């Protein structure tokens, strides 16, 4: 993978993860944000890069590696944004939408939280690698459909 593509993918996936992490603090939006982070953060980042013209999915291997990378780094910023926001909300206003997670974030040691983030990051990387793999076939299907449509006209 090209260094410029990697840096662009890294920046966009970090931004997507942070935005989803901040949205996950809202009680009724949290499950949707978590689902988006677990399964769709890499396709969101890849589609944004394709729309900006900075990326083109050429092989299955590239789509899997880009999905894996985007998913892992989106999880890192998602987790950090969620942990910091949850802790600040609890400390300032004594409000929590999820008592178990808030207690774990505030009372656990840093290395334990770090290990949980890395474990969930691995899970997110695998699911987003599969999502990137599926995205490759969806994009190729759409390209083939429009090319066939152009040939028929």
The answer to pTM > 0.75 is: yes
Q: How far apart are CA 96 and CA 90, in angstroms?
A: 6
Q: Exposed, middle or buried: residue 80 (CB in 10 Å: 0-12, 13-18, 19+)? A: middle
Query: Residue 153 has what pLDDT?
Result: 81
Tens of pLDDT, residue by residue over 38-80, are 999 999 999 999 999 998 888 999 999 999 999 999 999 999 9
First-to-last alpha carbon distance for the chain, in angstroms, is 37
Contacts 24+ apart (CB under 8 A), 102-109: none
Q: How far apart are CA 9 and CA 54, in angstroms?
A: 9
Query: Residue 98 has what pLDDT?
Result: 82
Asked if residues 113 and 54 have their Cβ atoms less than 8 Å apart, the reply is no
Compute the average pLDDT of residues 2-7.
Answer: 91
In the chain, domain spans: 3-152
């Amino acid at each position: 993978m090209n260094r410029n593509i990697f840096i662009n993918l890294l920046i966009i996936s970090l931004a997507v993860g942070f935005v989803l992490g901040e949205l996950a603090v809202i009680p009724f939006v949290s499950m949707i944000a978590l689902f988006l982070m677990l399964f769709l953060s890499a396709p969101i980042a890849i589609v944004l890069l394709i729309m900006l013209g900075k990326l083109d999915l050429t092989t299955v291997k590239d789509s899997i590696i880009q999905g894996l990378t985007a998913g892992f780094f989106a999880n890192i910023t998602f987790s950090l944004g969620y942990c910091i926001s949850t802790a600040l909300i609890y400390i300032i206003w004594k409000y929590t939408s999820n008592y178990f997670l808030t207690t774990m974030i505030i009372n656990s040691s840093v290395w334990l939280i770090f290990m949980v983030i890395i474990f969930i990051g691995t899970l997110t990387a695998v699911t987003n690698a599969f999502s990137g793999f599926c995205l490759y076939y969806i994009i190729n299907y759409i390209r083939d459909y429009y090319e066939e449509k152009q040939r028929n006209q």
